[in-house]
Amino acid sequence: MTSALYLEHYLDSLQHLPIELQRNFKLMRDLDDRAHGLMRTIDLMADELLPQIPKMDEETKKEKVNTIQGLFNKAKEYGDDKVQLAIQTYELVDKHIRRLDSDLARFESEIQEKVMSARAAQQAAADQEPNAATVKKGRKKSKINDKSASTTGKKKRAGASSEDDAVASGRSAAKKKAVRKGAAATANSSKEQEENADLDSVGGMAHPSDVLDMPVDPNEPTYCLCHQVSYGEMIGCDNPDCPIEWFHFACVDLKIKPKGKWYCPKCTQDRKKK
């Protein structure tokens, strides 16, 4: 069932609802007016009866009280009828709301079924399309491979002689480069051996002047008398109040770590003055 049919049927069921609601509300208003009229009458009768009660006999008094009691009962009946009409009105509206909920649930289930069937049809069509596409592509690829095989065969025959010449020339050039590299490697190795020998004679340390040209991180702390960053072997001053604390071996004329306590030149002078 389409949405238009659901809406049409639901609107048909709502055709008489406004009239029924209007009738119930009118009856409730009439009952309310009657009940209020009776209550006003009861108030007037009570105001007249109270001053005359001492003068009345028992029969008259009982008759007046029964009349007032009957009016109260009648007002109560009007109130009960009004409550029943209110309950009927609520149930009437609730019935249409429940029908609307059931129609919406049925409509949603039908839409979901249609969507699932459409997806299944699309999936079946998609499963069939790749098979046909692969068959066509396979035929095209076979034709292309046949053409490419014939053309590459011709190109290989034509370019075989040129490739042989290029390989021969490349081998001769590689031999020349290898001879040059060998000569350069021997020269570099001899220089490295000389430099290593010089370093061993000094104790395996580089002079601070060798690292002065190195780039320094501005955030890295500096030490020693040269105010440079830490490198190589360093020694710490045994004075706990030393402002510098750490020194490079070369800057304080040290080659090995001395035995016992060691103080920097500044701390040594301060100790002598004391």
Supply the CATH number for residue 244's domain. Answer: 3.30.40.10
Query: What pLDDT, on the 0 to 100 scale, is given for residue 251?
Result: 92
Q: CA neighbours within 13 Å on the CB side: how many for 119?
A: 6
Gap between the Cα atoms of 26 and 5, Å rounded: 34
Q: Residue 253: pLDDT above 50?
A: yes
Please state the rounded mean pLDDT for residues 152-162.
43
| Sign of the dihedral through C-alpha 204, 208, 211, 213 | negative
Domain end among 87, 109, 132: 132
The CA-atom distances, in angstroms, between 41 and each of 68, 86, 257 are 9, 26, 124
> What's phi and psi for 232, nearest 5 deg?
60, -155
Same domain, 127 and 208: no
Domain end among 90, 113, 132: 132
Same domain, 25 and 115: yes
Domain end among 132, 158, 178: 132
Same domain, 126 and 216: no
CA 125 to chain centre: 36
Gap between the Cα atoms of 21 and 11, Å rounded: 16
pLDDT tens for 4-54 read 677 777 788 788 888 989 999 999 999 999 999 999 999 999 998 888 888
Q: Which amino acid is at 96?
A: H
Task: Assess if residue 57 is contained within a domain.
Answer: yes
Bind-site residues for Zn(2+): 224, 226, 237, 242, 248, 251, 264, 267
Query: What pLDDT, on the 0 to 100 scale, is given for residue 143?
Result: 45
Query: What pLDDT, on the 0 to 100 scale, is given for residue 86?
Result: 94
- For 126, the domain range is 3-132
Task: Assess if residue 265 is contained within a domain.
Answer: yes
Please state the rounded mean pLDDT for residues 151-180.
43
Task: Assess if residue 190 is contained within a domain.
Answer: no
Same domain, 29 and 114: yes
Number of domains in the chain: 2
Gap between the Cα atoms of 224 and 212, Å rounded: 13
Which band of pLDDT confidence, cut at 50, 70 and 90, is reported for residue 131? low
Task: Assess if residue 267 is contained within a domain.
Answer: yes
214 and 203 in contact (C-beta within 8 Å)?
Answer: no
Task: Assess if residue 269 is contained within a domain.
Answer: yes
Bind-site residues: 224, 226, 237, 242, 248, 251, 264, 267
Which band of pLDDT confidence, cut at 50, 70 and 90, is reported for residue 192? very low
Q: Which amino acid is at 45?
A: M
Task: Assess if residue 194 is contained within a domain.
Answer: no
**Greatest mean pLDDT among 33-47, 140-154, 157-171, 193-207:** 33-47
Q: Residue 130: pLDDT above 80?
A: no
Task: Assess if residue 105 is contained within a domain.
Answer: yes
Same domain, 9 and 123: yes
